[in-house]
């Protein structure tokens, strides 16, 4: 367990493994070879991964496994998930002379995974895809489940496709070079799984989460494996988000509004927005008489102890105007019939979907100084 594990995403003929553990990049050739239709891949990555030596390590491993590879290195950052960068990426990959049996390898965080995954979905009507996530967020969330896509000026992730990978390699050692702020942001998604339906996991995080945040290998591996299991189970039950998969949006309606108001930039990372959103989802549930106050307190305390924003004022000292947040909800991809949808909780580990929230209750919550 300390060394990781293999988690199967059960999707019938498209089932695949998420392999978690140290040293996977160095074994890339051996791990990929049996899956490839032809020993030829295009690796898509960003400049930070190249600079940290991760691309070179993977290239070496692929060569050792007899796999021919070419690579495309893109600028890092959310702005790369754009139509212009997609266009450029498609052009560069096609210029390499790929065939239907060439596989795409996405080496990077959620930005690279989403963009390269979408390119794989549409190039030659679909190429095989391998995800090698290099941020905690990507290892526990974005690399699993097959959602790929880019942003539009109308909003985030509005253009995309479902395209499941053939394999996910979550190498614990790659996280060693991740900036601490990025590690913390990914940790918010780890906490989310505990809050949705794994109360024992949340209790473990309360006790041992500081070890995860200190990137202690055994603790980090356990957190990643548990999270991958949680995500894999939800995806297997509901691949295209007809029901259970919506639970993964716990905290996210609030998070997306906060991200929209702060401009998707460096002021607030996605995981930081999720951290605050989780607290707000619990606060809303308390106000609706669904959830005990003590559970809200536990969540707030844990988020704050992790160095994540547990309130809107922890993001911006002056807080946020209620009207700006309410306006932002309207742009959420998950809006149905003009109403934002919220995942609510009856307590820690007891999230549920489908409740309607009166606009007045929402306004009251947002008008209150702190959740
Ligand atoms: N597809 C999904 O289901 C899904 C789920 C959640 C989030 N997302 C998407 O994921 C994106 C966010 O992903 P992210 O948080 O991984 O951000 P990211 O991909 O921008 O990576 C964060 C930063 O860390 C750098 N980096 C990555 N790995 C590194 C490493 N090992 N060492 C040093 N630096 C490293 C990157 O270059 C970047 O600067 C968003 O666009 C979001 O919409 C998708
Ligand atoms: Zn998220």
Residue 1 binned pLDDT confidence (cut-offs 50, 70, 90): very low
**Which residue's alpha carbon is at the smallest distance from atom 16 of ligand 1?**
109
Burial of 263 (0-12, 13-18, 19+ CB in 10 A): exposed
What are the residues whose beta carbons fall under 8 Å from the beta carbon of 51, sequence distance 6 or more? Answer: none
Name beta bridge partners: 336.
Answer: 339
Q: What angle do CA 313, 318, 319 make, to 5 degrees?
A: 50
Residue 52 binned pLDDT confidence (cut-offs 50, 70, 90): very high
Per-residue pLDDT for 339 more than 90?
A: no
Residue 333 binned pLDDT confidence (cut-offs 50, 70, 90): low
User: Which residues have C-beta atoms less than 6 Å from ligand 1?
Assistant: 46, 48-49, 52, 76-78, 81, 108-112, 114, 134-135, 137-138, 141-142, 145, 147, 156-157, 174-175, 177-178, 182, 270
Average pLDDT over residues 325-345: 81
**Which residue's alpha carbon is at the smallest distance from atom 18 of ligand 1?**
109
Half-sphere exposure of 136 (CA within 13 A, CB side): 32
Per-residue pLDDT for 325 more than 70?
A: yes
Q: What is the pLDDT of residue 168?
A: 98
Any long-range contacts for 311-318 (C-beta under 8 Å, 24+ apart)? 311/276, 311/279, 311/370, 311/371, 312/258, 312/276, 312/370, 312/371, 313/369, 313/370, 314/276, 315/258, 315/262, 315/267, 315/268, 315/272, 315/273, 315/276, 316/262, 316/267
Q: What is the pLDDT of residue 6?
A: 97
Q: What is the pLDDT of residue 137?
A: 98
**Which residue's alpha carbon is at the smallest distance from atom 19 of ligand 1?**
109
Residue 2 binned pLDDT confidence (cut-offs 50, 70, 90): low
Residue 343 binned pLDDT confidence (cut-offs 50, 70, 90): very high
Average pLDDT over residues 107-125: 98
The string of pLDDT tens digits covering residues 173-197 is: 999 999 999 999 999 999 999 999 9
Burial of 82 (0-12, 13-18, 19+ CB in 10 A): middle
Per-residue pLDDT for 155 more than 90?
A: no
The string of pLDDT tens digits covering residues 239-264 is: 888 788 999 999 999 999 999 999 98
């Amino acid at each position: 367990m300390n060394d990781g594990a293999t988690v199967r995403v059960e999707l019938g003929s498209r089932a695949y493994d998420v392999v978690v553990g140290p040293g996977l990049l160095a074994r890339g050739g051996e791990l990929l070879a049996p899956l490839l239709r032809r020993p030829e891949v295009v690796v898509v990555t960003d400049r930070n991964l190249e600079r940290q030596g991760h691309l070179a390590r993977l290239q070496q491993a692929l060569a050792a496994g007899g796999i021919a590879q070419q690579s495309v290195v893109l600028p890092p950052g959310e702005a790369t998930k754009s139509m212009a960068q997609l266009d450029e990426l498609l052009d560069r990959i096609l210029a390499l002379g790929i065939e239907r049996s060439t596989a795409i390898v996405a080496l990077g965080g959620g930005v690279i995974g989403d963009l390269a995954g979408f390119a794989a979905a549409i190039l030659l009507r679909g190429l095989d895809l391998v995800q090698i996530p290099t941020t905690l967020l990507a290892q526990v969330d974005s690399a699993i489940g097959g959602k790929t896509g880019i942003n539009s000026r109308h909003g985030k992730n509005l253009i995309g496709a479902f395209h499941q990978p053939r394999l996910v390699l979550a190498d614990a050692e790659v996280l060693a070079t991740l900036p601490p702020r990025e590690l913390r942001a990914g940790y918010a998604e780890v906490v989310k799984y505990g809050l949705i339906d794994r109360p024992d996991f949340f209790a473990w995080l309360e006790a041992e989460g500081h070890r995860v945040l200190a990137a202690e290998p055994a603790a980090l591996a356990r957190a990643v494996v548990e999270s991958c299991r949680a995500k894999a189970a939800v995806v297997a039950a509901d691949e295209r988000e007809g029901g259970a998969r919506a639970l993964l949006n716990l905290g996210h309606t609030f998070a997306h509004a906060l991200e929209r108001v702060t401009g998707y930039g460096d002021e607030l990372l996605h995981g930081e927005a999720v951290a605050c959103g989780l607290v707000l989802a619990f606060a809303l549930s308390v106000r609706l008489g669904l959830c005990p106050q003590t559970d809200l307190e536990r969540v707030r305390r844990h988020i704050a102890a992790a160095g994540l924003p547990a309130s809107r004022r922890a993001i911006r000292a002056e807080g946020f105007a209620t009207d700006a947040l309410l306006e932002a909800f309207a742009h959420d991809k998950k809006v149905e019939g003009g109403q934002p949808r919220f995942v609510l909780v009856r307590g820690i580990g007891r999230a549920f979907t489908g409740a309607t929230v009166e606009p007045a209750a929402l306004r009251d919550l947002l008008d209150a100084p702190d959740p």
